[in-house]
Chain A
Amino acid sequence: MSNLQLLAGFDMSKLFGDSIRAGINVQSAAFALGAVGLNLHYGFTGLLNVGMVAFMAAGSYGMAIIFTQGLLGGSILLGILGGLVFATIIALLVGIPALRLRSDYLAITTIAIGEVMRISFRSRRLLDITGGPFGLPSIEDRSADISLADRIGRDWNPLFNVDDPTRTFGFWKLAFDGKTLWLMIIGWTIVVLCSLLVWKLIQSPWGRVIKAIREDEDAARALGKNVFSYKLQSLVIGGCIGALAGIVRTLDSGFVESNQFKPQTTFFIWTVLILGGAASKWGPVLGAFLFWFILVFFEELLRQIISSSSDMVFLGLEANDVGRMRLIIMGIMLAALMVWRPQGILGKKEEALLDAR
């Protein structure tokens, strides 16, 4: 089969349309948020948080439980607040013992707390609260009979029109229904606000102390800065931003389940941050877009190549290998980036070079 025939079988608009769509959808916004929080932790404070998913779980479950139990009058905003409080408690629980120790202890503790939370939430003993292994398939205020998805996607949605519920907005492959677009707007607005918040903090004298701690804790201490307290503040703020990542994802999907909080999510968020560039202002945002764009692009590309080849095999790959291949490709690209541009796409090159001195 010639190259020309191969190309002819390609659906370019699907290839690029689906990839861009993946880069800007709510899932991507959630990852961007996780990376904004991680950027404060790792990029600016130097905290090795390897359990961002724990904060996401705290946010998602916190909000979902409050809503389903009808605790605070079934209010979404109070539910979100509850999720943030839960994330704060987790940050303090992890931070108070671990932040006094060497930095590797935080890494161990955070990765553990994520798993502890995931496994506890799916325990049958918590069936009535977290839904155990089934999760909370539909987050509903049981007393008021309103689901979270309906409340946010319909009742509160200015883009939703009762007379024309299937109306779409946009063009080409980028047409979204009212609910999806509404949640994208909410998600990316929170991303932008959190990015600006972190940046404003970093540009202040508070941020100067935070960066000093990243560079050398002892130097900061010798100049009278309460390093432990600053690290704890950073952990709590970044953790709450991570909780918002979980919350945004849950607002979109309308359900929570423990499988959404596997450790790999944490590593995807790390990938997002490193791709975009740690310690940069918009690195997490660009990183999240690229992460999803690349994943979907290569998945779709391989799928199209395979389906257009006569024997449905390409380089020994079949259609159901594609899902795994896309992660391998992501890994290779990340490794190449580390060699050619270790500071990430938006990171400062000069800073990466300083490490060698």
Chain B
Amino acid sequence: MPADLNAAQQAVRTADPTPGSAKQDPILIIDEVSRSFGGLQAVDVKRLEVQRGVITAFIGPNGAGKTTFFNLLTRFDDPDTGKWQFNGEELSGKLSHSIAQAGMVRTFQLTKSLGKMSVMDNMMLGAQDQKGESLFSALVKGSWKSQERAVEAKATELLGRFNLSHMRDEYAATLSGGQRKLLEMARALMSEPDLILLDEPMAGVNPALVQSLLVHVEALRDEGVSVLFIEHDMDVIMGISDWIVVLAEGRVIAEGTPEQVSQNNVVIDAYLGTSFAEDEGTP
């Protein structure tokens, strides 16, 4: 086991590599969450624990139900059954905005940039507990001016990290597809989440930038943010994840460290295919 891992990373690496296994310090615990569309069982997750303070990848073939699962957890869609606890708090009865306020913030596979607002306004919207967002304080500028400056400073810093500084005063609608992905992720980070759910954050982002984004994601983890992300790029997944959860036809078919998952025959059959196993030099 590499020596430079932090405690949470070490902890998750010793977890049992079977679907639904217990984690030492779970930030999110999911029970019996299911959703069907007509006859199609899109999601049917019996039990899943997500370790705090690590990067967990969520992978699976197209149509496996990954996005639907995110939608259920953040209540952009309603589950047929199921409960989930976040930071020890029962979230299943709550609405989307309360879930975000509780510290679980998501991005979308199809980006949702606020086109007729500037990039800076997009960012500043992400900050939580803004005094000026309540109707009556809004009219008293003195009550939110200093907070506004702090939010702006933070947004400036994040825009820099995501290579978007030069776009700060442009309308978000003028951004390219990749830039919108970056903006959406940066905007979600403005809310200082405990757990961030990223739906294919690297899709469409140029490879050079992907590398620096990965560094940022790792930096986030090192700051204590838990990351759960959906991704198809195997190099990205293997390079950055501490733990991988594999979904197929709505069910968790495997969990484990990158090494364990890439050697798991069930996963190879369902998703990775033989070529990947050969690339990795496994028997």
Contact = CB atoms under 8 A, between A and B. Distances in A.
Whether both chains belong to one complex is answered with: yes
Contact of A222 (B106, B116, B134, B171): B106
Contacts of B124: 205, 208
B101 interface: yes
Interface string A192-207: 0000010011001111
Contact of A206 (B116, B128, B135): B135
28 contacts: A201-B135, A204-B138, A204-B139, A205-B124, A205-B144, A206-B132, A206-B133, A208-B124, A208-B125, A211-B114, A215-B117, A216-B112, A216-B113, A216-B114, A221-B76, A222-B106, A223-B125, A223-B187, A223-B191, A224-B128, A225-B97, A226-B95, A233-B135, A350-B171, A351-B171, A354-B171, A354-B174, A357-B173
A295 to B, nearest CB: 31
Interface string B120-154: 01001110101111110011010010001000000
Nearest to B136: A206
B115 A354 contact: yes
Interface string B72-104: 001010000000000000000001111011000
A90 interface: no
Interface in B206-255: none
Interface residues of A, number: 29
A212 B138 contact: no
Contacts of B271: none
B243 to A, nearest CB: 24
Interface of B: 74, 76, 95-98, 100-101, 105-108, 112-117, 121, 124-126, 128, 130-135, 138-139, 141, 144, 148, 171, 173-174, 187-188, 190-191
A207 B105 CA distance: 22
A220 interface: yes
Given A223-B105, A224-B105, 10 more contacts: A200-B138, A204-B141, A208-B121, A209-B125, A211-B121, A216-B113, A222-B96, A222-B105, A222-B112, A354-B174
B172 to A, nearest CB: 8
A312 interface: no
B152 to A, nearest CB: 11
A219 interface: yes
Contacts of B114: 211-212, 215-216, 219
A218 interface: yes
B150 to A, nearest CB: 12
> Which one of A211, A214, A215, A216 has the greatest number of beta carbons of chain B within 10 Å?
A215
A227 interface: yes
Given A206-B133, A218-B112, A224-B105, A212 B97 contact: no
Task: Pick the 9 closest A-B CB pairs, nearest first.
Answer: A205-B132, A224-B100, A206-B138, A204-B138, A215-B114, A219-B112, A354-B173, A224-B101, A221-B96
A208 B151 CA distance: 13
Contacts of A201: 135, 138-139
Contacts of A222: 74, 76, 96, 100, 105-108, 112, 188
Interface in A302-357: 350-351, 354, 357
A219 to B, nearest CB: 4
> Which one of A212, A218, A219, A227 has the greatest number of beta carbons of chain B within 10 Å?
A219
A197 B117 CA distance: 21
B179 to A, nearest CB: 13
A224 B115 CA distance: 19
A225 B138 contact: no
Contact of A225 (B115, B116, B117, B133): B133
B108 A218 contact: yes
Nearest to B187: A223
Contacts of B117: 208, 211-212, 215
Contacts of B173: 354, 357
A119 to B, nearest CB: 33
A204 B145 CA distance: 9
Contacts of A226: 95, 97
Nearest to A229: B97
Nearest to B193: A224
> Which one of A201, A221, A222, A354 has the greatest number of beta carbons of chain B within 10 Å?
A222
A200 B132 CA distance: 11
A211 B138 CA distance: 14
A207 B76 contact: no
Contacts of B132: 204-206
Given A219-B114, A354-B174, A207 B191 contact: no
A351 B121 CA distance: 15
B138 A351 contact: no
Nearest to A356: B173
Contacts of B138: 200-201, 204-207
A15 to B, nearest CB: 40
B143 to A, nearest CB: 10
